[in-house]
Amino acid sequence: MDRVNATTPSASSADDPARAAFAALRTPEGAQLLAELRDHDPADELATATRLRRTHPAELVSAALGQARLRQRAVAKFGAEDAYRMYFTPNGVEQATRTSVAAHRAARFAGLGVRSVADLCCGIGGDAIALARAGIAVLAVDRDPLTAEVARANAEALGLGELIEVRCADVTEIDTAPYDAVFVDPARRGGRGRIFDPEAYSPPLSWATAAALKAPRAALKIAPGIPHEAIGPEAEAEWISDGGDVKEAVLWYGEGFAPGAFRATLLPSGATLSAPAPLPAPPVGPVGRYLYEPDGAVIRAHLVADLVERCGGQLVDETIAYITSDEPYSSPYVAGYEITDELPFNMKRLKALLRERQIGVLTVKKRGSAVEPEELRRRMKLSGPGSATVFLTRVAGAPTMLIGHPLG
């Protein structure tokens, strides 16, 4: 059988240094140290460690400093209020779902009447926490004993222990029949970093899909770069961005979802664009007065053609996700720009134009160009009170520079 989660050590926490260190952090002395280290500067860590080791065991100080670093990193995903009450592992911080995304997913489940979820491969419990806060009872399962202990500690720290049961077990051995829904978050990182082959996930996507199809409803968290051909016809595929950054994709199964549909959801607004099937390739034409840059989730979901149809525009190139038109168009799914200049790609001409217009602040965007934005800005030697946006792209196959400014 394929290896699924991390291996299950049989040793007790006393025989496992990592688990023993975590247990020490949960003592009154460990809690005091973590509170003291909340706002410490990592640049002063050596001096801080030296000072603390005068009054605390060296192993506890090392564990507390490590946990303090993880909590500081976790603020970006969980917010300060939760992050400084929670516990983390290095992999847990890296792989945990951002709170806004987890809350969106939990809300979709709750809106369909789901009241219990089997969370398989729960990690440090980020999704279980969001589900519980939506009023859903959760069985959170992870095969790694330390990770399971951290998830349990997090449920207790946030006052959700009555709704979240944490179990250290192999997810392939869990009976999910008693639950309204299943959520699977396969590990997508290994010893050599990020894993791109869905069948190399742990557990593999094929196993997770089979588990999902057995449940009344299910969701699988996957990497946003998954090839569309790897998505079965039974799934509704949703790509989610937060603040303009694409965070993940989710495959939804069961009653209440739309098999075969593609969806793009933008957070924090919650705006959602969906289509039952891909539209034909959109038209291509010359650059008009306006240029529209679709959100990354729209691009990943292959819904650019839908936006082209909505705004009555066209693409600047058949391979580039920039939409152009002569009419203004407002939509949460695009950022709009008014284009003032269209030039063949030429660094000297761009530099002369920017100097003439006294452009001191330049935003560089690119699609279909190998030029790095920082390198371009460095070569322009910008100076002046003005600002502009330059797009390095292709228009009808030709390398092109478009200069303009954001609408609104």
Phi, psi angles (nearest 5°) of residue 89: -115, 160
Rounded to 5 degrees, what angle do the CA atoms 255, 256, 257 make?
95
Determine the average pLDDT of the residues in 14-22: 84
Is 86 a residue whose pLDDT tops 60?
A: yes
pLDDT tens for 319-371 read 999 999 999 999 999 999 999 999 999 999 999 999 999 999 999 999 999 99
Is 116 a residue whose pLDDT tops 90?
A: yes
Other CB atoms closer than 10 Å to residue 8's CB: what's the count? 13
Cα–Cα dist 182/85, whole Å: 27
Determine the average pLDDT of the residues in 250-271: 96
Determine the average pLDDT of the residues in 61-77: 95
pLDDT, residue 9, reads 39
Q: Dihedral of CA 185/186/191/193: which sign? A: negative
Cα–Cα dist 24/56, whole Å: 11
Omega cis (within 30) before 294: no
- How would you write 309-358 as a 3-class SS string? HHHCCEEEECCEEEEEECCCCCCCCEEEEEEEEEEECCHHHHHHHHHHCC
Among candidate residues 244, 269, 238, 239, the one with its CA nearest the CA of residue 334:
244
pLDDT, residue 265, reads 98
Is 123 a residue whose pLDDT tops 90?
A: yes
Q: What share of the chain has pLDDT > 70, as a percent?
A: 95
pLDDT tens for 303-320 read 999 999 999 999 999 999
Sort strands 334-344 and 398-406 into parallel, antiparallel or unpaired. Answer: antiparallel
Cα–Cα dist 107/85, whole Å: 23
pLDDT, residue 12, reads 54
pLDDT band at 190 (very low <50, low <70, confident <90, very high): low
Determine the average pLDDT of the residues in 213-237: 93
Is 302 a residue whose pLDDT tops 70?
A: yes
What are the CA-CA distances from residue 254 to residues 114, 217, 218 (Å)? 12, 4, 7
pLDDT, residue 243, reads 93
Phi, psi angles (nearest 5°) of residue 294: -65, 150
Is 36 a residue whose pLDDT tops 80?
A: yes
Among candidate residues 148, 150, 195, the one with its CA nearest the CA of residue 174:
148
pLDDT, residue 191, reads 61
pLDDT, residue 328, reads 93
Among candidate residues 303, 312, 308, the one with its CA nearest the CA of residue 276:
303
Q: What is the pTM of this model?
A: 0.89
For 292, the 3-state DSSP assignment is strand
pLDDT, residue 80, reads 95
Is 10 a residue whose pLDDT tops 60?
A: no
